[in-house]
Amino acid sequence: MNAETIILGAGMTGLAAGLVSGFPIFEATSAPGGICASYYLRPGEQAATPEASPDGEAYRFEIGGGHWIFGADTLVQRFLQYHVDLKQHHRTSSVYFLEKQRYVPYPLQNHLRYLGSEIASHALKDMVQPPSTFSTMREWLIVNFGPTLCELFFFPFHESYTAGLYSRIAPQDTYKSPVNLEDVIHGAFSDVTPVGYNMSFFYPVSDLSTLVRELAAHCTIYYKKRAIAIDPHAKHVQFSDGSHVSYDTLISTLPLHIMLRITGISLDIPEDPWTSVLVLNIGAVKGAKCPGDHWLYIPDSRVGFHRVGFYSHVDRSFLPKAARKEHDHVAMYVERAFLAGERPSEDATRHYIQDTIRELQDWQFIQEVEIAHPTWIDVAYTWKWPNSSWRQQAIQALERYGIYQVGRYGRWKFQGIAESIRDGLVVGVSLKTPK
């Protein structure tokens, strides 16, 4: 098979690119969407299905945890709304401190009064100190938040969130923890205006997979085509099923380090790191102390997870139909990070699930569990070593052979669904040959 331009990967970015360009998409799995896909599980059953059952008596979960659409500008919103109905939500999230069962609204630094006058006083003194230099994420945290808040929250949370990398990697995605001293001081005494990159977000009225299917319906997709080798000189892709395709230009949404490996392109600098995430989706009877937040940041879980999210607090349609009126069940997800690709064994995963359920029950977030279903995201978060140019060099090296990396993992940067879709739209239009 020969094609002028091809796309690798039918996730959100690849689908957007394929839709506006008409270029064929080659997808490694048997379904589109990548990790941005919903699935359904009925209590007492083990087989997940991609579509809701006719009677509605199943929990809805997502591969990789809650995928809320934040950061969508007006044009991306219009694009999405052309394909599905969207509902807007306003973020409700907190930091949860287990020892005192204390909830502090996100972002922590803007709500110091919830921590008590003594801690708030120490934190304010820390944060008004003159800034100093930094090169690692840990150093950036101490410079911006001071020792009081770092010891209380930022250090233990980032230890879990980055699987221990935070003391060695460069500061990254600093907009997630906005620092404004005026808001900090104001928030020590009264309410402040919500801030952050995810203050509001959208989600399809139906489910995420409906959006995926709508986009895929307008694309040409070849499934079960996992690229295992690319000859960048001959412009030839070999797939795991023995088939192959030639191209002139290649749009890749595959993780940047994987593209270097399968193209055989090597760089003389260390590869930037990444972390994996084990997501545990849970359907359960709601506990007496289950919070009403959309998600919580956890600095002190004894099991090691760093975030707990509640699908059904965003939309009750994540619950089985019979459970939606009584408010006595919950659909939720729990995230735990691991160093790159260090997937736990089946036995270790089973013990982790048991321990996580026990911890959530001890917190009285849940009671009886009806479903506990894990999903593994091998490349979940990408990071950078201090002063590293690996990302830029890798992208440039691939572009010299007509390979364009796009999307969250293709370009090795944190971004949400909206920005990933925008990436796909831009590259698809840019490379489409005018008629």
Interval 250-299: pLDDT, tens: 999 999 999 999 999 999 999 999 999 999 999 999 999 999 999 999 99
- Residue 333 CA to residue 308 CA, distance in Å, equals 6
Is beta strand 38-41 parallel, antiparallel or unpaired with respect to 5-8?
unpaired
Instruction: State yes or no: pLDDT of 34 exceeds 70.
Output: yes
Q: Can you tell me the distance from the alpha carbon of 40 to that of 47, in angstroms, rounded to the nearest whole number?
A: 9
Query: What rounded mean pLDDT belongs to the chain?
Result: 94
Tell me how crowded residue 70 is: count the other CB atoms within 10 A of its CB. Answer: 19
Mean pLDDT score, 207-211: 94
Give the pLDDT band of residue 172 (cuts 50, 70, 90). confident
- Would you state the pLDDT for residue 98? 92
Q: How far apart are CA 353 and CA 12, in angstroms?
A: 29
Residue 58 region by backbone torsions, left for phi larger than 0, else alpha for psi between -120 and 50, else beta: beta
**Residue 367: Cβ within 10 Å count:** 16
Placement of tokens 């890798």 in the chain: 394
- Class (C level, CATH) for 38-91+274-382: alpha beta
CATH 3.50.50.60 fits 5-32+219-268+388-431, yes or no: yes
Task: Report yes or no: 284 and 43 within 8 Å, Cβ to Cβ.
Answer: no
Average pLDDT for 337-365: 97
**Domain spans of the chain, in order of start:** 5-32+219-268+388-431, 38-91+274-382, 108-187
Give the lowest-confidence range in 12-21, 62-71, 156-165. Answer: 62-71
Residue 18 phi, psi dihedral angles, 5° rounding: -65, -35
CA dist 249 to 17, 75, 404, 409, 412, Å? 13, 27, 8, 19, 20
Residue type for position 427: V
Non-local CB neighbours of 99 within 8 Å, separated by 6+ positions: 300
**Cα dihedral sign, 176-182-188-191:** negative
Query: Which pLDDT score is estimated for 326?
Result: 87
Dihedral angle sign, alpha carbons of residues 192, 193, 195, 199: positive
Q: Is 48 strand, coil or helix?
A: coil
First to last CA, the chain: 23
Q: Residue 381 pLDDT > 70, yes or no?
A: yes
pLDDT of residue 175: 65
Mean predicted confidence (pLDDT) in 22-46: 93
Q: With beta carbons less than 8 A apart as the criterion, state whether 18 and 10 touch.
A: yes
CA dist 39 and 51 (Å) reads: 6
Of 366 and 414, more confident: 366
The confidence band for 2, taking pLDDT boundaries of 50, 70 and 90, is low
Higher pLDDT, 351 or 183: 351
Going by pLDDT thresholds of 50, 70 and 90, the confidence category of residue 176 is: low
Give 165-191 as a DSSP string: GGGTSPP--GGGS---HHHHHHHTTS-
Two structure tokens written together for 428:
């698809």
Compute CA 379 distance to the chain's CA centroid, rounded to the nearest angstrom: 10
Mean pLDDT of 17-29: 97
* Antiparallel, parallel or unpaired: β 227-231 and 236-239: antiparallel
**What span, in angstroms and rounded, lies between the C-alpha atoms of 158 and 378?**
19
pLDDT category of residue 1 using cuts at 50, 70 and 90 = low
99 or 420, which is more confident: 420
DSSP sequence for 253-277: -S-HHHHHHHHT---SSPPPPEEEE
Q: Is the pLDDT of residue 435 over 70?
A: no
φ/ψ of residue 120, rounded to 5:
-60, -40
- Look up tokens 């370009």; give the residue: 411
User: Cα torsion for 411, 417, 420, 421, to the nearest 10°?
Assistant: 170
pLDDT digits (tens, 9 = 90+) for 356-376: 999 999 999 999 999 999 999
**Can you tell me whether residue 420 is helix, strand or coil?**
helix
Query: What's the distance, CA 412 to chain centroid?
Result: 13
Structure token digits, residue 81: 């709304």
| Radius of gyration, CA atoms only, the chain | 22
Give me the amino acid identity at 109: Q
Mean pLDDT, residues 311-317: 96
Percent of the chain with pLDDT over 70: 98
